[in-house]
């Protein structure tokens, strides 16, 4: 029997293809300079982080986006970026298959840095049916904290009725894994291979599918 009682998954970059990679591609394709991209998406007090905590509305973020790209030779606008972003990034069926396989075997949770609490639930989560997969879903846009802030991990653990050391947490970003690990979670980095499934199988002691 596994020592761990819960598996907690990130969404973007884990259950879907990476929004970070796609945003970099969007900016490169639309002539948005790295400096402007980093200013928008990098800082904890930057427009994207504020949007993920619902400190900015969708229109408010679009205005900040326009302000930051004003010096770039680009046809893009904040409104256009928002329309593009909310089309989603495509499901990773191998990872969704793992979650489905684990239902009833361990407690299942999701923690996602997402945006715009006023959007429909499945739009906020790239079209993934989170309530159909997880017992607990913690969204930064709803709770007002974002990874790697410790509060968002603590909220997930409290809702799952576990202690952090009883959870395995999977994410594609090192900073988020570091935040979870600081609380005592066992962490697994997800990339574009099946290595995370191998690591999760070893941690849980449960044979997992590889679609």
Q: Is the model's pLDDT at 123 over the cut of 60?
A: no
Stretch 32-41: mean pLDDT: 98
Give residue 118's pLDDT band: very low, low, confident or very high (50, 70, 90): low
Averaged pLDDT, 134-142:
94
Tell me the pLDDT band of 87, cut-offs 50, 70 and 90.
confident
- Mark 97-110 as b/e (b = at least 16 C-beta within 10 Å): ebbeebeeebbbbb
Q: Which tokens belong to 179?
A: 């935040």
pLDDT of 76 over the 80 cut: yes
What per-residue confidence (pLDDT) applies to 116?
63
Q: Is the pTM of this model over 0.75?
A: yes
pLDDT at 211 (0 to 100): 82
Angle at 150 between CA 65 and CA 126, to 5 degrees: 45
The torsion angles phi and psi of 170, rounded to 5 degrees, stand at -115, 130
Instruction: List Cβ neighbours of 125 (8 Å cut-off, separation of 6 or more).
Output: 11, 112, 114, 137, 139
Burial (CB < 10 A; 0-12, 13-18, 19+), residue 116, is: buried
Orientation angle between helical segments 58-68 and 34-41, nearest 10 degrees: 150
- Region 15-34: mean pLDDT is 94
- Provide mean pLDDT across the span 21-47: 96
Dihedral angle sign, alpha carbons of residues 79, 148, 156, 21: positive
**Residue 110: what pLDDT?**
96
| Residue 112 Rama label (left phi>0; alpha psi -120 to 50; beta) | beta
Share above pLDDT 70 across residues of the chain, in percent, rounded to a whole number: 93
> Is residue 122 scored above 70 in pLDDT?
no
* Distance from C-alpha of 68 to C-alpha of 210, rounded to nearest angstrom: 42
* pLDDT of the residue at 138: 95
| Residue 117 clears pLDDT 70, i.e. is over it | no
């Amino acid at each position: 029997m596994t020592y761990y009682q819960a598996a907690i998954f990130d969404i973007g970059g884990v259950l879907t293809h990476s929004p970070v990679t796609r945003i970099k591609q969007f900016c490169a394709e639309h002539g948005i300079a790295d400096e402007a991209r980093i200013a928008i998406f990098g800082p904890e007090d930057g427009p994207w982080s504020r949007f993920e905590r619902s400190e900015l509305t969708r229109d408010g973020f679009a205005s900040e986006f326009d302000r930051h790209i004003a010096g770039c030779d680009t046809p893009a606008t904040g409104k256009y970026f928002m329309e593009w972003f909310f089309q989603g990034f495509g499901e990773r069926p191998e990872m969704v298959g793992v979650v489905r396989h684990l239902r009833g075997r361990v407690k299942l949770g999701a923690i996602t840095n997402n945006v715009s609490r006023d959007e429909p639930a499945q739009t906020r989560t790239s079209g993934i049916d989170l309530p159909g997969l997880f017992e607990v879903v913690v969204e930064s846009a709803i709770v007002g904290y974002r990874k790697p802030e410790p509060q968002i991990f603590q909220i997930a653990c409290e809702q799952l009725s576990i202690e952090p050391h009883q959870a395995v947490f999977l994410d594609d970003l090192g900073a988020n894994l570091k935040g979870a690990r600081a609380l005592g979670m066992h962490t697994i980095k997800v990339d574009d291979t099946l290595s995370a499934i191998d690591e999760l199988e070893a941690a849980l002691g449960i044979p997992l599918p590889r679609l």
